[in-house]
Every structure is written in C-alpha cells, then in structure tokens.
Amino acid sequence: MAVRIEQVDLPGIGVRHDVLTETGRRVSVLTHRSGERTLAVFEVDDPDSCRDPVTLTDDEAEALAELLGASVMLGQLSALREAAGVYTEQIVIAADSPFVDRRLGDTRARTRTGASIVALLRDGSVVPSPGPETRLQAGDNVVAVGTRTGLDSLTRIIADGAN
C-alpha cells in the first residue's frame, strides 16, 4: 500500500502536511509562517479534533525527521504551493510494489498520468530530477507534481501497477 502525504495551504497560518495511517489516524506537521512547527495527531472520529499538539524547535524537528527517515525536501518544495490545480505529494514505495528494484521509467508515470516525478527521497538524501534509469527501492519517497487526478492515478500505479 502506498502512503500519501498531502499538503494543505492554511492562509495566514502556514502549511500543513498530513499522513493518513492504515488505522485511519491523521498525523500532521503544521509549519507556521513564522517557521515554528507543530506535530499533531487527530481523532479518528473527528478529523478536526487535535490531541496534544507538540511544538518543535528546529533541532527537535530535525532529530524527529532523521528518526523517521524523512527529508527536508518537502520544506524546499513548500514554495511550490498548490496553484491552478497543481499539487505536490510524496508517495512511499511499499515493499510489495511491483516497481521495487525496477527502473523509474518502467512506471511510465508521466505518460500514464500526466504527473511528473521531480525528486526521490532515499535514506535521508534527495535525488533531484531522477532519470528513467533510476532504480526504485522499498521505502523510497517519490515526490510528484500533478493534478489531483494524476496523483491519484500515480499512487495506484506505484501501489499495484494498475491505472
């Protein structure tokens, strides 16, 4: 199963990135315009009800990101906000994806969905503009840009090879 990280622009506040877990929990990181970050977990029954938000310093956020194997790539891409129906999203390559140990070009992502893969996050490093020969590995985060429909299709393709 592919993991989705969704970006929500909060006018006047900042940007929130959400991960919806298999159990239905929403875990979010809110990056305020001031640079402050808040980690939040939401109730399953009420997605607007946050339990115990935790404000993180830069050092704490960096340490947590390293522990989770994340990258600062999303922060760099946050300047590329949702504009004119274009979204930025991370899709995790699951161990059971048909594209593990295959070339990125084998996905035919842009041809099949119109979405562009603009970076690959792997082991705490960033592979910007990966070429079609780049081999995908379980746990890689594919950073893609496209329409909502295109990104939904790309998520399905990466998860099970289907459109």
Q: The domain containing residue 105 runs over which residues?
A: 87-160
pLDDT computed for residue 157 by the predictor: 94
pLDDT computed for residue 163 by the predictor: 62
pLDDT computed for residue 63 by the predictor: 72
pLDDT computed for residue 48 by the predictor: 73
pLDDT computed for residue 72 by the predictor: 45
pLDDT computed for residue 102 by the predictor: 95
pLDDT computed for residue 68 by the predictor: 63
pLDDT computed for residue 69 by the predictor: 53
pLDDT computed for residue 116 by the predictor: 92
130 shares a domain with 65: no
Query: Domain with 123 in it: what CATH number?
Result: 3.30.70.1450
Long-range contacts at 118-125 (CB < 8 A, ≥ 24 apart): 118/77, 118/88, 118/143, 118/144, 118/145, 119/73, 119/77, 119/143, 121/70, 121/71, 121/73, 121/90, 123/69, 124/66, 124/69, 124/70, 124/71, 125/71
Where a domain ends, among 53, 84, 115?
A: 84
Query: Domain with 71 in it: what CATH number?
Result: 3.10.450
106 shares a domain with 151: yes
Q: How many domains does the chain have?
A: 2
120 shares a domain with 98: yes
Q: What is the pLDDT of residues 21-43, one digit of tens each?
A: 887 788 888 888 887 888 988 87
pLDDT computed for residue 49 by the predictor: 79
Mean pLDDT by 10 residues, the chain (163 residues): 76 85 82 85 76 82 65 50 69 92 94 92 86 93 90 92 72
